[in-house]
Amino acid sequence: MTVAAHRETELKYEAGAELPSLGGLPGVSGVDGPRTERLEAVYFDTADLRLARHGVTLRRRTGGHDAGWHLKVPAGGDSRTELRLPLDKGPARVTNTPPDELVDLTFGMARGAEIRPVVLLKTERQIWELFGRKGKPLAEVADDRVTASRLDRESTVDKWRELEVELADPDMAPGMDRALRKAGLRRAPHTSKLARALAVEEERPTGDTAGDALLDYVRTQYDEIVTQDLLVRRDAPDAVHQMRVAARRLRSALRVYRHLLPDTGRVSDDLRWLGRRMAEARDLEVQHAHLRDEIATLPDELVVGPVSARLTRHFAPAAATARERVLKTLADKRYRRLLDALDRLVADPPLASRASRPAGKELREHVRRAYRKTKRRMGSDTLHQTRKAAKRYRYALEVAQPAVGGKAKRARKAARALTKLLGEHQDGTVVRPLLRELGMKAHLAGENGFTYGLLHDRERARCAEVERVCPDYWKQVRKTRLT
């Protein structure tokens, strides 16, 4: 059965004795309600709460308009993606067993551990619907009285009241939040009812040492890998790319800052393996999209023959094969080993003594070393090798930026511009042989190869232009480097 996806943006507040005047909120022209719902939800997780630690919830809810199995995944800020299946999905008589379709999607977080019931939530809810001009839906406001019972240990019960505002448009969040705060509401300290029931620590520890800064970055990239794992399994657009980027960022950080976090060579090797296994699918996606865009810019008279159809015939089977390779990678024992190693790394990091030094000063030293390596590559290596060194420098600056501030931000922007430019050169270098191959196949099939030759010449010219302006981009990198 197909898993339905729904994007939601919710603001949570501590409910006081009186609710603010909903009709007086900005943009609200009408209020409908209240109506009452009684909800009951069983939440599932591993024994050590692996899903909750990644901000993910899996539940079976009854009552209300959206009864069913729900898997909620962070989608940035106050937004989450909710994946849904109906209540009758899964073992018909065993309601404490989640559907395989949802459990499989959580592998990157659960890593094969048993998923079991952990919390029962009962909610008495009053709901108001807010409308704007011409009856446009703006938000749904829910006044919730919650009773939470732990199921995974000796039963404990907690009760509280909260206000939940689900917005029709995520862009409304800042304005609505300001208005509700002005009306006297305070944001709830938890991002979900489950987080409060489990007392999961949602704020990461902060500090001013080099180790604190590095570990915060490592945790962020680890979270991104497991989040994208779920999206890759769903074949979501750009998910393979984002997963590769997170793996590359993490590997670069472990390499550049290896004197702060030693003994991570095996993790780095596994991250490189993961990136390479994902490369084919991503490269095919980029090449196909790039060539489609290039063809769209050509006048009709310059598109000779069934060019788009030939591209589809070339890329579709190759993309399907690459997709199978990606899924095999996610099922590989080495990938499971990598996830386990990353989880241990963030839980008990083997920091060196120098990681306790102040972040600003210590991180600069490692960034400067990454810059010097990029400088050596520039002019003495291929632009592709220069690009890889520049990316390590750029990611090193990402680690340092929170501690170093504006100077690191300017340096990172300059490095990003250089790597983007060199990425265009690499794309053009790779796609030219493909265009020649496609042109030859078209010729042998009795088609006109003119358009492929034209696109080939465009790519050659684009690469030449990159080579011409590259020194100017490098000057900006030199100018903004940390001293």
> Which CATH number fits the domain that encloses residue 435?
1.40.20.10
Question: Is 446 within the bounds of a domain?
Answer: yes
Whose structure tokens read 């990091």?
349
177 in the same domain as 28: yes
Question: Is 239 within the bounds of a domain?
Answer: yes
Question: Is 81 within the bounds of a domain?
Answer: yes
Average pLDDT for consecutive 10-residue bins of the chain (483 residues)?
Answer: 84 83 87 93 94 93 90 88 82 68 94 93 94 91 94 84 92 90 88 86 68 96 94 92 96 97 96 96 93 95 95 95 96 96 95 95 96 90 91 97 95 97 94 96 94 96 96 96 90
Task: Kindly state the greatest CA–CA separation across the chain.
Answer: 79
Question: Is 30 within the bounds of a domain?
Answer: yes
What is the number of structural domains in the chain? 2
DSSP result, 228-281: HHHHHHTT-TTHHHHHHHHHHHHHHHHHHTTTTS-S-HHHHHHHHHHHHHHHHH
Instruction: Please give the structure tokens belonging to residue 64.
Output: 């209300």
Question: Is 203 within the bounds of a domain?
Answer: no
48 in the same domain as 150: yes
444 in the same domain as 306: yes
pLDDT for 272:
97
**Which residues are paired to 79 by β-bridges?**
9
Of 131, 166, 198, the residue that ends a domain is: 198
Q: How many angstroms separate the first and last alpha carbons of the chain?
A: 57
Whose structure tokens read 């108001």?
128
pLDDT for 206:
63
185 in the same domain as 317: no
DSSP code for 433: H
Of 176, 198, 220, the residue that ends a domain is: 198
pLDDT for 25:
87
338 in the same domain as 304: yes
Of 275, 331, 342, 278, the residue nearest 112 (C-alpha):
331
Compute the distance between CA of residue 313 and CA of residue 280 in angstroms, rounded to an integer.
17
220 in the same domain as 136: no
Compute the distance between CA of residue 421 and CA of residue 58 in angstroms, rounded to an integer.
42
232 in the same domain as 182: no
Angle between helices 383-404 and 450-480 (to 10 degrees): 40
Total residues found in the chain within this entry: 483
Of 198, 227, 246, the residue that ends a domain is: 198
pLDDT for 22:
87
Question: Is 266 within the bounds of a domain?
Answer: yes
Q: Are 334 and 270 in contact (CB under 8 A)?
A: yes
> What's the whole-model pTM score?
0.88
Burial bucket for residue 353 (CB in 10 Å: 0-12, 13-18, 19+) = exposed
Question: Is 205 within the bounds of a domain?
Answer: no
188 in the same domain as 266: no
- Output the domain CATH number for residue 95: 2.40.320.10
Q: Which domain holds residue 349?
A: 210-480
Compute the distance between CA of residue 40 and CA of residue 124 in angstroms, rounded to an integer.
9
Question: Is 204 within the bounds of a domain?
Answer: no
Q: Are 417 and 476 in contact (CB under 8 A)?
A: yes
359 in the same domain as 260: yes
444 in the same domain as 372: yes
Per-residue buried b or exposed e for 363-393, using 16+ beta carbons within 10 Å of the residue's own CB: bbebbeebbeebbebbeeeebeebbbbbbbb
Radius of gyration of the chain, Cα coordinates, nearest whole angstrom: 26
Q: Which amino acid is at 135?
A: G
pLDDT for 92:
43
Compute the distance between CA of residue 12 and CA of residue 201 in angstroms, rounded to an integer.
17
Q: Tell me which H or E stretch contains 4.
A: strand 4-14
Compute the distance between CA of residue 10 and CA of residue 468 in angstroms, rounded to an integer.
49
Coil/strand/helix, residue 168: coil
421 in the same domain as 340: yes
Q: ∠ CA(435), CA(436), CA(442), 5° rounding? A: 85
185 in the same domain as 293: no
Coil/strand/helix, residue 392: helix
